[in-house]
Chain A
Amino acid sequence: QVHLVQSGAEVKKPGASVKVSCKAFGYTLSAYYMHWVRQAPGQGLEWMGWINPDSGGTNYAQKFQGWVTMTRDTSISTVYMELNRLRSDDTAVYYCAVDFFSSGSAFNIWGQGTMVNVSS
């Protein structure tokens, strides 16, 4: 069964970094781009970028360039999203998602979400 399992909730202080993992089950990780989307409390969905697990190539939303790093370890079918210099408004649920329809934004498989709380 195809599914994505993310790492657990994190509590971080402002200025710290957080690294969230997303492990793929039931398909070959390198076959599809992995995207990251977040939702802050009371806000809408926000796309952060994607990683091509095959090549390691990335495409980050302009807002996150220089601030987010997406990596992968194909040997364990896992991708990572690291966000640096955290601020309180980075408090959000972070999701990994895959577009099996290869349409660019049709995410039919999602991780369960990882809550990141940034608080002093």
Chain B
Amino acid sequence: QSVLTQPPSASGTPGQRVTISCSGSNSNIGSNTVNWYQHLPGTAPKLLIYNNNQRPSGVPDRFSGSKSGTSASLAISGLRSEDEADYYCAPWDDSLNGVLFGGGTKLSVL
């Protein structure tokens, strides 16, 4: 069964840089691009990063993504209180023939 592993929680103080990891396998991250979403309670998820490291228009350059092998990371620099949200990685999975979401990481800004 395909699984994407994210840390359940992360935290940082305003201005800090935090990184959220996403570990997968050859059928997902290893062979497809990774997208990242920010999800605030009561709102629809927002695409932060697509194709591993591309930012959609309007997403601040404080957000960056990278991928190496079967792992990917989302980095947030200059942390702000409004960054407090849940973050999900989401590549296509060839074995499932579908989109696979990571379990999500709850980011707290202390």
- Whether A associates with B in a native complex is yes
Residues of A near any B CB (own CB < 8 A): 35, 37, 39, 44-47, 49, 59, 61-62, 95, 97, 101, 103-108, 110-113
User: Is B63 an interface residue, CB under 8 A from the partner?
Assistant: no
Bound-state Cα–Cα, A62 to B71, Å: 24
Q: Tell me which of A59, A103, A110 contacts B45 (CB under 8 A).
A: A110
Specify the chain B residue showing the minimal Cβ separation from A107.
B47
Q: Tell me which of A59, A95, A110 contacts B98 (CB under 8 A).
A: A59
Query: What is the distance, in angstroms, from A38's C-beta to the closest C-beta of chain B?
Result: 11
Given contacts A44-B101, A49-B98, A59-B98, contact A105 B91 (CB under 8 A): yes
Query: What is the distance, in angstroms, from B1's C-beta to the closest C-beta of chain A?
Result: 10
Decide: B35 and A45 in contact? CB cutoff 8 A: no
User: Is B100 an interface residue, CB under 8 A from the partner?
Assistant: yes
A107: B residues at CB distance < 8 A: 35, 37, 45, 47
Decide: B45 and A47 in contact? CB cutoff 8 A: no
A108: B residues at CB distance < 8 A: 47, 50, 56
Most buried by B among A45, A62, A113: A45
- Which residues of chain B from 85 to 110 have a CB within 8 Å of any chain A CB? 86, 88, 90-92, 96-104
Bound-state Cα–Cα, A49 to B104, Å: 19
Decide: A44 and B51 in contact? CB cutoff 8 A: no
Decide: A44 and B103 in contact? CB cutoff 8 A: yes
**A103-B92, A108-B50 given; 20 more Cβ-contact pairs under 8 Å:** A35-B99, A37-B99, A44-B86, A44-B103, A45-B39, A45-B90, A45-B101, A47-B98, A61-B98, A62-B96, A95-B44, A101-B50, A105-B90, A105-B91, A106-B33, A106-B35, A106-B51, A107-B35, A107-B37, A107-B47
